[in-house]
Amino acid sequence: MDKFSDYPTSLTAPARDGATVTPDDVNDLTILPRALYVGQAGNLSVRLAGGQAVLFQNVPAGTLLPVRASGINAVGTTAAGIVALW
């Protein structure tokens, strides 16, 4: 039973879905996530929804990054176990 099923999904609400991400320098994610989870520590090179490229350095394992990333670059990304949440 989901007591919150009638509530709208907003950017501040907990994620309802997710998928593992394979970094790719060309192709964007199929769904624009509300956050990224990093399972194994390392650098994370992302393409943000606004068009900027950003490198998050030394992201610890277990980090939840509240960023709207259109894509995760393979070049520059050393982190693993990345999950897109929406």
Domain boundaries, the chain: 18-85
The model carries a pTM of 0.91
pLDDT of residue 4: 75
**Is the pLDDT at 10 greater than 90, yes or no?**
no
**Is the pLDDT at 13 greater than 90, yes or no?**
no
Binning pLDDT at 50, 70 and 90, where does residue 6 land?
Answer: confident
Beta carbons within 8 Å of 72's beta carbon, 6+ residues apart: 21, 23, 24, 29, 36, 44, 45, 46, 47, 82
pLDDT of residue 74: 98
Binning pLDDT at 50, 70 and 90, where does residue 2 land?
Answer: confident
